[in-house]
Amino acid sequence: MPDGVRVHYREELERLEESALGGLDMVSIALGRTMEAVEHQDVELAQVVIADDDRIDGRYLEVHQSLITLLATQSPVATDLRLISALLHVLKSIERMGDQCVNVCKVIPLSGSEAPVDPEMVKLILTMGEFTRPLISQSKRAFEERDVEMARDLVRRDDAVDELNRECFRLALQIGDEVDQREWAMTMLLAARAIERVADNAVDIGEQVAFVVTGLFREFEDASHPS
Amino acid sequence: MLTEQMPKIEVRPEFQSSPASEAKEKVFELKGIDVSYSGVPAVKGISMEIGRNEVTAMIGPSGCGKSTLLRCLNRMNDLIPTAEVEGELLYRGEDLYGPNVDPVQVRKLIGMVFQKPNPFPKSIYDNVAFGPRILGRKDGLDETVEKALRGAALWEEAKDRLGDNAFGLSGGQQQRLCIARCIAVEPDVILMDEPCSALDPISTGKIEDLMIELKEQFSIVIVTHNMQQAARVSDRTAFLMTELDATENTRWGRLVEYDVTEQVFTNPSDKRTEDYVSGKVG
């Protein structure tokens, strides 16, 4: 229990942080299932991920509303204000990550039930998923521990995911001239792109960590100004 | 301009607006101010500059010396025989506590509004005209009264009842009357000691709007317990807190942080400010 005055307010803020960051665990599970669905072309599992996204959206709405109530009733300032502002951003990122998993799951039926046209491309996408899940947990830990260095390290790990995405693109270009093959490759590119965005959202959460700690918002990396 | 020898009083140079980004002209400079009552320190080592045409807020827990410090700025502490002020306090570059400075003149230039509205048991008109009459003004009193009441956003409510007793006004109106009385003598600075603590939210809102309007003409220093009020109205905020000696028997106020208000309430540089403004300590 927090010491000092305004104990209930502090407890509520702690609870909301825990609840918001808990959304990242939900996203991590959704991404794990999404990858499994991609690997096995499992349309039923993909449907489960799509249905479960309502839970992530529900978490977003619930915590968002409670944070607005805290803003309206408790007049938070200083670190508390920055924390609430950051949590509102983090919630949005979590909601987007959930949507990206849904985007991948929606294209799984489009990839058909035949064996993959290019198993190498599927393998790359699965590797992107393997790389992205630790990014999600690292963004959560960096936020919980207010560790800016750990948050900054997300950029390095995201670069690896970006590189895999580019590799997918290169493979898609070489896929062949058949319409079916090209359609499959386009579908897989959409999936790769969605996972790449999940990793970007983890970096966005890292930027919010830096904002909570330093009071300054700076993008770690900007698409228009790459480091 | 504070000395008796000077025949003509420069009340207030013409206000010139300047962009917010420009450094503000200083109205007060405090250098190592210590105040004590009967040898017991109340505040120690206060050094800060107060900008012209700004609202400067002083916040801090009870007993941290905010009001003591405020009262130094127009020598109100002179009225307490045991009070002693050390250090250097410059008003527009002149020593406010210099040997030839007339405290009455100081209080004319640097007016004060108190926590509880304190109108005189006179008519609304006579309350506002009181200061100018004391200063020997006879001509243009009506205009002066109207200008001051307009300045204090009370004219519309009071213009048809100027002869009524001031005690018939509501608390919020009485406080605005006190502000009108203060500005009727055309001061340079207005000091406000918790001016809204006895008022309801509507009256508080009116006084706060008024402060923002008045700073165009005057420099305002406000002591408040209401941190959101400091955040709403002030340009700069000073946070004071109490410090104890080794025996923990004596306590005095110290300036912990003084910065642009936005900075104090979004990203204070001192942990103690952070704890106070976010309500972690009382």
Domain boundaries, chain A: 7-214
Amino acid in the structure at residue B6: M
The number of helices, as runs of H, and strands, as runs of E, in chain A is 6, 0
For A78, the closest of B266, B281, B282 (CB atoms) is B266
- B274–A81 C-beta distance less than 8 A: no
Determine the distance in angstroms separating the CA of A169 from the nearest CA of chain B, rounded to an integer: 44
For B279, the closest of A6, A82, A215 (CB atoms) is A6
pLDDT of residue B8: 39
Q: Which residue of A has its CA nearest to B229?
A: A75
- Lowest-pLDDT range, A160-174, B109-123, B152-166, B198-212? B198-212
pLDDT of residue A6: 82
pLDDT confidence of A148, banded at 50, 70, 90? very high
User: What is the residue-wise DSSP string for A150-195?
Assistant: HHHHHHHHHHHHHHHHHHHHHHHHTS-S-HHHHHHHHHHHHHHHHH
Spatial neighbors of A2 by CB under 8 A, at least 6 apart, are A10, A11, A14
- B228–A4 C-beta distance less than 8 A: no
Count CB-CB contacts under 10 A for residue B81: 8
As a dihedral over the C-alpha atoms of residue B88, residue B90, residue B96, residue B98, rounded to 10 degrees, the angle is 60
- B267–A78 C-beta distance less than 8 A: yes
pLDDT of residue B79: 87
Mean pLDDT of A218-225: 74
- Lowest-pLDDT range, A109-123, A183-197, B28-42, B176-190? A109-123
B5, pLDDT greater than 60: no
d(CA A79, CA A66): 18
pLDDT of residue A165: 97
- B274–A5 C-beta distance less than 8 A: no
d(CA B133, CA A124): 89
A93, pLDDT greater than 80: yes
pLDDT of residue B113: 94
pLDDT confidence of A73, banded at 50, 70, 90? confident
Indicate which of A79, A81, A84, A217 best probes the interface with B, i.e. most B CBs within 10 Å of its own CB. Answer: A79
For the stretch B234-251, pLDDT in tens is: 999 999 999 988 777 888
B3, pLDDT greater than 80: no
Helix, strand, coil percent values for chain B (each to nearest 5): 35, 25, 40
Q: Which residue of B has its CA nearest to A81?
A: B266
Mean pLDDT of B113-127: 95
B35, pLDDT greater than 50: yes
Residues 213-242 of chain B whose Cβ lies under 8 A from any Cβ of chain A: 227-228, 231
Partner B contacted by A76 (CB < 8 A):
yes
ipTM over 0.85: no
pLDDT confidence of B21, banded at 50, 70, 90? very low
Instruction: Tell me the whole-structure pTM to 2 decimals.
Output: 0.79
Q: Which residues of A touch B275 (CB under 8 A)?
A: 4
Task: Compute CA distances A166 → A128, B47, B176, whole Å.
Answer: 11, 59, 68
pLDDT above 90 covers a percentage of chain B that reads: 74
B145, pLDDT greater than 90: yes
* Domains recognised in chain B with CATH numbers: 26-277 (3.40.50.300)
- Lowest-pLDDT range, A113-122, B18-27, B100-109? B18-27
For the stretch B60-83, pLDDT in tens is: 999 899 999 999 999 998 889 999
pLDDT of residue A4: 67
Mean pLDDT of B253-260: 96
Say which CATH class A7-214 falls into: mainly alpha
Residues 80-139 of chain A whose Cβ lies under 8 A from any Cβ of chain B: 80-82
pLDDT confidence of A224, banded at 50, 70, 90? low
Indicate which of B265, B278, B281 best probes the interface with A, i.e. most A CBs within 10 Å of its own CB. Answer: B278
For the stretch B190-235, pLDDT in tens is: 999 999 988 888 888 889 999 999 999 999 999 999 999 999 999 9
A48, pLDDT greater than 80: yes
For the stretch A76-87, pLDDT in tens is: 999 999 999 999
The order of strands in the sheet holding B219-223 is B94-95, B83-91, B26-37, B40-51, B251-260, B236-244, B55-59, B219-223, B189-193, B110-113
- B265–A81 C-beta distance less than 8 A: yes
- A4–B266 C-beta distance less than 8 A: no
pLDDT of residue A216: 87
